[in-house]
Amino acid sequence: MAVLSGILIDGLSYGMILFMVSVGLSVTMGLMRVINLAHGGFALLGGATAHWLTTNTDLGYYFSVILAVLATMIFAIAMEKIFYRKIYKFTELQQVLATIGITFLMIASVNFLLGSTILPIRSPEFFSSSVDLGFRTLPVHRIVVIIAGMAIALGLYILLDKTRFGIQLRAAVDNRNMASSLGINTARVYALSFALGAGLAAFGGILGAELLPIDAYYPLRYMVLFLVVVAVGGLGSIAGSFFAAIGLGIIDTAARYIVPEYGTIFFFIAMILVLLLRPQGLLGKK
Amino acid sequence: MKKTIKLMAGVGAISVMMASAAFADHTVKVGVIAPFSGPFAIWGKQFKEAVEVYVAQNGETAGGHTVEFIYKDSGGPNPSGTKSLAQELIIGEKVDYLGGLVFTPNALSVASLIDEAQIPTVIFNAATSSIVLQSEYFVRTSFSLWQVSVPMAEWAWEQGIKTVVISVTDYGPGNDAQVAFTTAFEALGGEVLDAIGMPLSTTDFAPFMQRIKDQSPDAVFAFLPAGPPTFAFVKSYNENGMKDAGITFLGTGETDETTLEALGDAAIGLTTAYHYSAAHVSDLNQAFTSKLDEMFPGSVANLASVGAYDGAHILYQMIAAVGSDRTKAVDVVRGYEWESPRGPVSLDPDTRHITQNVYIRRVAKDENGNLINEEFQTIEAVPDLGLL
């Protein structure tokens, strides 16, 4: 019983961290259909900025995080205007090559400026304390991540399904020429969506840093993790990514509780099974 | 295959002839192989800086020979790449000595090569005990996991710790640490309740903390590769209330100086057994760390620095004694004793591995508010217990 509740609670919180770090990719790759391997790069830039701000200024954690996310979004808009505009039109393989190239540039820049050691983000003291749930304790930052993850999932659902911007984005992705001829400023919609994806990447990178610490090689270290969550969830479905992240989190955690010697094999078996039975992912459209 | 061996033997013979024909006062070249790019680039940086500090303090000549260091980038664990770099250094650059080597597979890959070409090779890090047995030309100035894990087990027993859960990353050095600790701890009468092999790619350590907690041991002994895994494990230990549950943290290199600041104040009080702390109190260490800070502002000394600094010292001793007549070089330093920034050390005459003090330390704050590993107990002159 203790093991079962442990698996559920740790699995949920780990799954939520997986969701947080991959939701940005779910927007850029899932919705906008650009194979954005530089997703982890934006998370790295956000995390590195937050590291620099929290260790070198007196802005405080919350303000630093907001500033880091905004800075990443502004950078992303510039990147979109210079590079990604062209990358959208590339074939899939060209997109992979172009975005992995951008990733390497980001890694090298951070490595050059801040070095290759861990870049810790100084979070408020109470993040590191733990809450007693009666039968076990849970670190506060996990609770923060769970709440933030729920809020983001809900916020994105409303933004994409219920607002005018969401309708415009879906229209632009489905048929750009038609959307454009109906008077939708598709260039603007794309730029904003890309910035949204990058901002979510930065936010996820910062909040997830308690488990997946930020260092210059972050984008490569965790690239597979992001891609698996989005692929299993199904391209274009935020809800899919959400359930995939939670499911994979629980499976991986259960394996670590019960059979740690098998490593992460169950995580990948789950991925293979889902993709065999549903190549489009859990909630992806064909 | 046979052809390659023949070719290598030929090359080896030629380079030996060339070396002995050389004049006594010519420049002696040392090739240093280490990662200078990629996720492990910090190792190469620490090595190079420490060697440069040594050269700045001791001059560019050893016994009348000018010493030239040539650095080659091996990237991460990459045995075949390392072997070809070594070949390139021996044949192309005509080096007389090799140094560096961070990863065990990389070090093992050059063993046959340095045997054939008779190149004394000083290992600055690669810590698996058995490496030095693969070639008589290996000398090692780092440490081995047996060397630090056994003193940790003995110290824990003295503190009244009777039960331990071992939690190590499931790979070579992790298994070494586990076997070493278990052997020593059980010999004293202690009980190892559980030994968890954690997958190398683990990012969330909470499940392991829960498993450890459920068995309520007196202590947990951990070993993980430096960097993100160590960081996340120690964070997890702190945040899951392990300390409050009365489970002492026992480690080795987890509080490495390059990750210590990242761990923050939560690290205070963590106990580890290790061969070097940048805060070791001695004039020589003071001179070393202040020179390092002067030449490379912001740099901190860690195990890699001291391994390279002592490695450079051993290379200088060999070069001063025999120059490029390197076939006898290793014999010159067998049993050699000197003072290192880590304390008094010597090279074991048989294993050519460094015999050194192991210090029990705990993380504390110094007068400037920086986190340091404060040594409070010394176990003197520990050899590589894994080779006995």
Q: Where are the domains of chain B?
A: 2-143+281-352, 145-274+359-387
Looking at per-residue pLDDT, the higher value among B1 and A95 belongs to: A95
Check if A212 contacts B (Cβ < 8 Å). Answer: yes
CB atoms A256 and B207 under 8 Å: yes
ipTM of the prediction greater than 0.85, yes or no: no
Say what the pTM is: 0.83
Q: CATH number for the B2-143+281-352 domain, one of 3.50.50.60, 3.40.50.720, 3.40.50.2300, 3.30.460.10? A: 3.40.50.2300
Q: What is residue B96's predicted lDDT score, i.e. its pLDDT?
A: 94
Looking at the domain assignment, is residue A117 inside a domain? yes
Q: What is residue B25's predicted lDDT score, i.e. its pLDDT?
A: 55
Where is B116: in which H helix or E strand?
A: helix B111-117
Q: What is residue A230's predicted lDDT score, i.e. its pLDDT?
A: 93
Check if B296 contacts A (Cβ < 8 Å). Answer: no
Check if A119 contacts B (Cβ < 8 Å). Answer: yes
Q: Which of B210, B257, B261, B302 has the most A C-beta neighbours within 10 Å, making it the best mutation to test the interface with A? A: B210
Looking at per-residue pLDDT, the higher value among B17 and A127 belongs to: A127
Under the banding of pLDDT at 50, 70 and 90, the label for residue B22 is very low
Check if B387 contacts A (Cβ < 8 Å). Answer: no
Looking at the domain assignment, is residue A260 inside a domain? no
Q: What is residue B323's predicted lDDT score, i.e. its pLDDT?
A: 82
Q: Which of A51, A56, A116 has the most B C-beta neighbours within 10 Å, making it the best mutation to test the interface with B? A: A116
Check if A174 contacts B (Cβ < 8 Å). Answer: no
Arithmetic mean of pLDDT, B115-122 = 95
Task: State the smallest CA–CA distance between residue B263 and chain A in angstroms.
Answer: 8
CB atoms A260 and B264 under 8 Å: no
Where is B365: in which H helix or E strand?
A: strand B354-365
- Which of chain B's residues have a Cβ under 8 Å away from the Cβ of A119? 262
Of B39, B208, B240, the CB nearest to A137: B240
Give the count of domains, chain A: 1
- At the topology level, CATH places domain B145-274+359-387 in Rossmann fold (3.40.50)
Under the banding of pLDDT at 50, 70 and 90, the label for residue B264 is confident
Arithmetic mean of pLDDT, B370-383 = 93
Looking at the domain assignment, is residue A95 inside a domain? yes
Q: What is residue B1's predicted lDDT score, i.e. its pLDDT?
A: 46
A-facing residues of B in 62-101 (CB < 8 A) are none
